[in-house]
Structure 1
């Protein structure tokens, strides 16, 4: 029987791996021992092993094959994180019992195994208003290339920018200058169709606000930064990273987007905002963020860092607040994380319940604030985070839609889910390679 998080791959691939071992590669086979010392049962726990911890990797193009002691296959991938065309990490997710462990057999195949796809990044762009969208893995957008810029005047991006998802939930980032983060509510575990946001001719079309079999765009973003979007406070004043939909010139000179990796169990992208000039100031900042997603969670992880600081800034992490029915809850989780959480109808026409949460590192957390009801950065709550020059802040953004999981209809159930997720990501797993 195949357990959750463990998927089969083709018999041909397994034979390839075994033949590799029989042809002199047996010394390349290793055991990976995982030990969970926490009192938490771990589900789809993310495990990353750096290349330098894996001795005797065969030369050439090889692919990892991970087998449990019962012979089941654990989906895994090799990720190049620094863009040098050589992989840096072996990554997989697995289940581990509290105070328990697991031993995996690692071998290498010359044929890439075919695993069930549980994460994805989609990014498409058209070169002109009259050409179809094409899939691309990177892009640079300049300050005068907004949909309403003079001489530009069209939306170049499929779904307004990149979308990323796992088997539970999807998100999208408004790369068209707004830099807010929206939610795709999912009703299925499969990845959403590649043509979402396109018509039959490959032109950009807003067709994802209609309910489909897979789900739809559900969240009302307004003038907030969305769930997990970034802003800045200088002194007591709030500043939007980028502009609103009606602006014609961006306050970010250029924005670089790059898909770092896309695989069956982890997808990661990078956004870099070069020479951001917050409106009405003479300041210049550069900000980077790295949204990452793996299976099993109604959330994504983001890591943000900023340079150009003068000492009076506070990094802001947002969650929208267009439905003001539910007040925000601030929850301490084991003195390691602070959770900010709402459970109301942050959806189009207030149609569905949508729980939103931020899981924030307590050592950087400096409280929260409510943004104004109007303005360029409004209709939101913001976590105030300590800003240090070029120092990363890692947090999680959670979205629980009632049609994705019936338990999320209940505020207490959503709250428990978020607290449990915080403990899941906190739990450390000892990894030994023998």
Structure 2
């Protein structure tokens, strides 16, 4: 596996001109580092040096952690839940030059967005200077999505009797990361996921590539169940839907970020028409509900923030970009 070496190049994007001069970094060193810096990155980082204790909110918390360390794989502790201060930014993260994402590796299982103002890799520094400092505006960007009770963007759960069920009851959760020269992936295995009258195992693979903003999502269920779904959080902005011959997309665009003041964000989901039973509005998100199957279902999701470097600035340009991707999917069955 290629070694990840990103510290100098990330710092070059974030430090001031005065700091650059003081470090006396030579042009040859910069060029060498750029060549070694990967174009995508994924990580899971856990706290160490502390211990699990009873927390004030009625669940266990990891207290007294002295630092974070990255791991290639993680058997999620039984004690871990939301806001238990154990996993840095609460789950795995993945990014390329344009955008970053993270998944809450707890009962919520939502996917959040890191809007980026720089074109370097930043995740190793997110959440290091205060557990949730990434909610605040920084030179690199910030967490820009309020997921609330939804699945966020491209998260997954199950609709049972018109109610969204997340991952409140799971026997075991295991995650690992894989970084290569051509992509970065998060693999998650949920064993004994209980929803309604069913108990299944679910495997998830989330992959980001060097180009563009999208993540490819692949879900594989051990049992064909109704209601397995994904979606986009509904913030009451413009909604778009378009169907092609074999693929379709839903998307939202408008002022729907956590930035101050809030600004424009576009979010989209691409899905195969023959894999989907229904697309409808749920309580908290625009839903895409898959047909029961044990075959792998595939979809793509993406976010486009207007503060990106060379980002998409208008709704018309966002829809144009989605239409181009939809055409590519319908002709080649892949965006990549």
- TM bucket (normalised to shorter chain) is 0.7 to 0.9
Shift of 1:193: 4.9
Alignment partner, residue 298 of structure 1: 213
Measured against aligned partners, the alpha-carbon deviations of 1:115-151 in whole angstroms (never above 9, x if no partner) come to: 4421001210014322321111111124443257xxx
1:209 matched to 2:135? The reply is: yes
Measured against aligned partners, the alpha-carbon deviations of 1:136-174 in whole angstroms (never above 9, x if no partner) come to: 1111124443257xxxxx320111111100111110000
Alignment partner, residue 189 of structure 1: 119
1:360 matched to 2:267? The reply is: no
Q: How does 1:5-404 map to 2 (within 5 A)?
A: 114-127=35-48, 128=50, 129-131=63-65, 132-147=67-82, 154-199=84-129, 205-234=131-160, 236-243=161-168, 251-259=169-177, 261-278=178-195, 281-309=196-224, 313-321=226-234, 323-326=235-238, 328-333=239-244, 335-348=245-258, 351-372=262-283, 379-388=284-293, 390-404=294-308
Name the one with the larger helix percent.
Answer: 2
**1:338–1:365 Cα contact (<8 Å) kept:** no
Higher relative contact order (CA 8 A, sep 6+): 1
Structure 2 residue matching 1:220: 3-state secondary structure:
coil
**2:96–2:208 Cα contact (<8 Å) kept:** yes
Alignment partner, residue 325 of structure 2: 421
**2:237–2:256 Cα contact (<8 Å) kept:** no
Could you list the runs of 4 or more consecutive aligned residues of structure 1 that deviate by over 6 angstroms after TM superposition? Answer: none
Structure 1 residue matching 2:198: 3-state secondary structure:
coil
Measured against aligned partners, the alpha-carbon deviations of 1:222-280 in whole angstroms (never above 9, x if no partner) come to: 1100111111123x43332214xxxxxxx111111011x213431012011111112xx
Shift of 1:394: 0.7
Higher alpha-carbon deviation: 204-213 or 268-277: 204-213
**1:291–1:302 Cα contact (<8 Å) kept:** yes
Alignment partner, residue 14 of structure 1: none
How far apart, CA to CA, are the structure 1 residues paired with 2:98 and 2:82? 31
How far apart, CA to CA, are the structure 2 residues paired with 1:233 and 1:393? 16
Shift of 1:294: 0.4
Shift of 1:207: 1.1
Shift of 1:418: 1.5
Q: TM-score, normalised by structure 2?
A: 0.79
Q: 5+ unaligned residues in a row in structure 1: which ranges?
A: 1-62, 64-76, 78-112, 149-153, 244-250, 373-378, 430-434
Q: TM-score, normalised by structure 1?
A: 0.62
**1:231–1:318 Cα contact (<8 Å) kept:** no
Aligned residues: 288
Go from structure 1 to structure 2 and tell me whether the alpha carbon gap of 1:252 and 1:143 turns closer, same or farther (over 3 Å shift): farther
Measured against aligned partners, the alpha-carbon deviations of 1:381-430 in whole angstroms (never above 9, x if no partner) come to: 11122120x2101110010101116663311210111121233455549x
Structure 1 residue matching 2:321: 3-state secondary structure:
helix
**2:95–2:123 Cα contact (<8 Å) kept:** no
**2:188–2:205 Cα contact (<8 Å) kept:** yes
Root-mean-square deviation (CA, aligned residues, Å) is 2.4
**Residue 409 (structure 1) aligned to one of 304, 307, 313:** 313
**2:92–2:186 Cα contact (<8 Å) kept:** no
Q: 5+ unaligned residues in a row in structure 2: which ranges?
A: 3-33, 51-62
